[in-house]
């Protein structure tokens, strides 16, 4: 059976993919194969931790992808037909998967299951904004970004409509079974996305050695915005800014990290209520025992935007980045 893990983005995908990449022996003991094809750059060896290169190439008409890769993936699946094979890229979420089916999946025999982890909408918006800010992408600032998403929720009935998303995937990947999971650590098997994902294959959480460090600890909003200043206009390309970001993460400075600092309390309540109302049918179909997909417990305790310490914390982040840039 082929399992396609499509994220969604900001649901621990990097941590999961890195673990799958680093633990082929444990996977093999449980009849699981993390597909090398699509992660090998044509070398036959697993060089990348995920299949994002496939998703990027798909958006470019498969330009630059090895011609023999589709058959290589089909052959790899055939060689492990008695177990499970995994394809993973959060960049497949929300995209047209028809080209993926036509070029790759149609060659693979057996059932297909598509796994998507879903995150509370205010938390997703926060993570998405920070990612855009630290990558120096246009955001309109936190207030403008959130206002734009709220306007889109009001104007576009298909935006973050999970029933629509499931129907789209089914049409694009005929016969696929959709397996939605909630990104709620308190409810995950083993309390972690790695153990929860592996539980789908019958792997007991106690057999999984988790990494000591949490991947991609969340930078604060102001630290993310400060990192975004180190862009091409300041003489930093993507690689240089990525190195700075990794150094910032590794510093462990508590003033650089934080959550709940992109949306106001009122905005959180508005987007979560709209998301829950829009997806009541999806919840009834896939999670019939729940009154809500996501609890809002703790949301009112978030720091919120425009905290009195924001300016001082932003200046601290800039000074830290300048220091790291000089020593790096």
Q: CA quadruple 121, 273, 271, 302: dihedral positive or negative?
A: negative
- Indicate the domain borders of the chain: 2-119+183-207, 122-159+217-284+291-328
pLDDT tens by residue, 150-191: 999 999 999 999 999 999 999 999 999 999 999 999 999 999
Find the Cα–Cα–Cα–Cα dihedral 132, 213, 187, 179, rounded to 10°. 60
pLDDT of residue 304: 86
pLDDT tens by residue, 2-54: 999 999 988 999 999 999 999 999 999 999 999 999 999 888 899 999 999 99
Compute the mean pLDDT over every residue in the chain, rounded to the nearest whole number.
Answer: 94
Mean per-residue pLDDT, 272-281:
96
CA-wise closest residue to 322 among 221, 251, 263: 251
pLDDT at 217 over 90: no
pLDDT tens by residue, 68-98: 999 999 999 999 999 999 999 999 999 999 9
pTM: 0.89
Q: CA quadruple 251, 253, 254, 260: dihedral positive or negative?
A: negative
The residues, ordered by sequence, that sit 6+ positions from 22 with a Cβ below 8 Å of its Cβ are none
pLDDT tens by residue, 179-189: 999 999 999 99
Q: Which residues of 94-125 are buried (b: 16+ CB within 10 A; e: fewer)?
A: bbebebbbebbbeebeeebebbbbbbbbbbbb
pLDDT band at 192 (very low <50, low <70, confident <90, very high): very high
pLDDT at 300 over 80: no
Name the E strands within 89-209.
112-118, 177-182
| Residue bearing the bigger pLDDT, 297 or 8 | 8
Distance CA 277, CA 110 (A): 36
Within 10 angstroms of residue 183's Cβ, the number of other Cβ atoms is: 21
Distance CA 314, CA 320 (A): 10
Whether residue 48 contacts residue 41, with contact meaning beta carbons closer than 8 Å, is answered with yes
Number of helices (H), then strands (E), in the chain: 14, 5
pLDDT at 215 over 60: no
Task: Characterise 35 by phi-psi region: left (phi > 0), alpha (psi -120 to 50), beta (else).
Answer: beta
Per the document, the length of the chain is 328
Whether residue 304 contacts residue 266, with contact meaning beta carbons closer than 8 Å, is answered with no
pLDDT band at 302 (very low <50, low <70, confident <90, very high): confident
Mean per-residue pLDDT, 125-144:
94
One DSSP character per residue, 54-82 reads HHHHHHTTTTTS-TTHHHHHHHHHHHTTT
pLDDT of residue 212: 77
Phi, psi (deg, nearest 5) at residue 43:
-90, -15
pLDDT tens by residue, 199-213: 999 999 999 999 876
pLDDT of residue 216: 60
């Amino acid at each position: 059976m082929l399992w396609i893990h499509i994220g969604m983005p900001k649901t621990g995908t990097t941590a999961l993919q890195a673990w799958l990449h680093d633990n082929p022996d444990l996977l093999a003991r449980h009849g699981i194969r993390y597909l090398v094809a699509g992660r090998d750059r044509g070398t036959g060896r697993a060089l990348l931790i995920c299949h994002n290169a496939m998703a990027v190439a798909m958006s470019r008409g498969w330009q630059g992808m090895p011609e023999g890769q589709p058959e290589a993936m089909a052959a790899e699946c055939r060689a492990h037909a008695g177990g499970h094979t995994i394809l993973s890229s959060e960049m497949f979420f929300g995209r047209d998967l028809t080209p993926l089916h036509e070029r790759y999946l149609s060659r693979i025999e057996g059932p297909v299951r598509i796994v998507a982890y879903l995150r509370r909408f205010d938390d997703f918006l926060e993570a998405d904004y920070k990612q855009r800010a630290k990558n120096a992408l246009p955001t309109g600032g936190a207030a403008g970004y959130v206002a734009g998403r709220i306007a889109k929720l009001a104007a576009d009935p298909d935006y973050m409509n999970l029933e629509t998303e499931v129907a789209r995937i089914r049409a694009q990947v005929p016969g696929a079974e959709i397996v939605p999971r909630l990104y709620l650590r308190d409810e995950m098997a083993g309390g972690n996305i790695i153990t929860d994902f592996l539980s789908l294959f019958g792997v007991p959480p106690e057999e999984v050695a988790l990494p000591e460090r949490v991947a991609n600890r969340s930078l604060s909003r102001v630290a993310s915005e400060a990192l975004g200043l180190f862009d091409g206009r300041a003489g930093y390309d993507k690689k240089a800014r990525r190195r700075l970001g990794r150094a910032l993460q590794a510093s462990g400075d508590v003033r650089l990290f934080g959550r709940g600092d992109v949306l106001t309390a009122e905005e959180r309540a508005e987007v979560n209520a709209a998301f829950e109302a829009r997806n009541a049918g999806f919840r009834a179909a896939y999670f019939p025992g729940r009154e809500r997909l996501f609890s809002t417990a703790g949301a009112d305790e978030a720091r919120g935007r425009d905290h009195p310490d924001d300016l001082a914390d932003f200046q601290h982040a800039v000074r830290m980045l300048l220091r790291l840039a000089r020593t790096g």
